[in-house]
């Protein structure tokens, strides 16, 4: 009986030791995994933003799906221009003298493919994919034109749920992360770039994710 009791006690000691260890290291490991995956996802979102800004500069609006965005990168052309100030004399009928007129002259210098300018060493065909190992998921992408101060303005939004990014992590810690409200965290249940209700090309992540990688 004494030996059996000792064995049970040892099992309980090991069990509770593991629980204490897990309660301390679980959140640490969760945060390490979270930050690594968030950094990869945000890096991909920045490439999407680059492509969307180029799309709007050339076409006047944002792409509403990734097929259109990738096709634009494949075939899109930037026009290289140079602006310079100039002036000339023009006869003024009211004052009956030559008046100096100042203008801005736009010179076309040439053309360059979008893919060579922005994505020379980047596999932009994978822009839609969420860069997390173990899943086959895509970002949600939408574009629209909204009314702001009596102007029609193009907007876009790209997002992915945290549940997808952290699909294999502790569910209780994931629930807490989805409810995050913090100045140094990614607030809400998704990582979002842009907005469909405001004119924005920013993401909802803190500035720490914009710092250069070591």
Residues 125 and 183 in one domain: yes
Domain extent for 147 = 33-75+118-210
* pLDDT tens readout for residues 46-87: 999 999 999 999 999 999 999 999 999 999 998 776 788 888
The more confident residue out of 98 and 214 is: 98
What pLDDT score does 7 carry?
64
Residues 162 and 184 in one domain: yes
Q: Measure the CA–CA gap between 155 and 193, rounded to whole angstroms.
A: 11
The secondary structure of residue 1, as a DSSP letter, is -
pTM reported for the whole predicted model: 0.79
Residues 45 and 96 in one domain: no
Q: What is the DSSP string of 14-60?
A: HHHHHHHHHHHHHHHHHHHHHHHHHHHHHHHHHHHHHHHHHHHHHHS
Residues 104 and 125 in one domain: no
Residues 90 and 159 in one domain: no
What pLDDT score does 192 carry?
98
Residues 129 and 188 in one domain: yes
The more confident residue out of 108 and 132 is: 132
With 0-12 / 13-18 / 19 or more C-beta atoms within 10 angstroms meaning exposed / middle / buried, residue 88 is: exposed
What pLDDT score does 163 carry?
97
- Domain boundary (92, 113, 134) is at 113
Reported confidence tier of residue 195, pLDDT bands at 50, 70, 90: very high
Residues 140 and 161 in one domain: yes
Residues 148 and 164 in one domain: yes
User: What sign for the dihedral angle of Cα 73, 75, 76, 80?
Assistant: positive
Residues 66 and 85 in one domain: no
Q: Measure the CA–CA gap between 147 and 176, rounded to whole angstroms.
A: 36
Per the structure, the count of domains in the chain is: 2
Q: Which of 27-31, 88-92, 139-143, 173-177 has the lowest mean pLDDT?
A: 88-92
């Amino acid at each position: 009986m004494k030996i059996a009791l000792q064995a049970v006690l040892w099992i309980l000691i090991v069990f509770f030791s593991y629980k204490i260890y897990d309660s301390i290291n679980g959140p640490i490991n969760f945060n390490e995994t979270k930050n690594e995956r968030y950094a990869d996802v945000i890096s991909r979102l920045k490439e999407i933003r680059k492509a969307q800004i180029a799309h709007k500069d050339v076409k006047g609006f944002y792409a509403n799906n990734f097929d259109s965005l990738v096709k634009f990168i494949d075939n899109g052309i930037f026009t290289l221009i140079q602006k310079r100030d100039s002036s000339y004399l023009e006869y003024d009928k009211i004052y009956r003298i030559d008046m100096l007129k100042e203008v801005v002259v736009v010179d076309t210098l040439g053309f360059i493919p979008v893919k060579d300018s922005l994505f020379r060493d980047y596999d932009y065909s994978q822009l839609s994919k969420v860069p997390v190992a173990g899943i086959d998921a895509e970002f949600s992408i939408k574009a629209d034109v909204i009314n702001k101060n009596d102007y029609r303005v193009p907007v876009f939004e790209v997002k992915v749920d945290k549940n997808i990014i952290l699909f294999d992590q502790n569910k209780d810690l994931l629930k807490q992360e989805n409810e995050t409200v913090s100045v140094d965290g990614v607030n809400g249940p998704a990582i979002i770039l842009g907005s469909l209700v405001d004119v924005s090309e920013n993401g909802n992540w803190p500035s720490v994710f914009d710092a250069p990688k070591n």
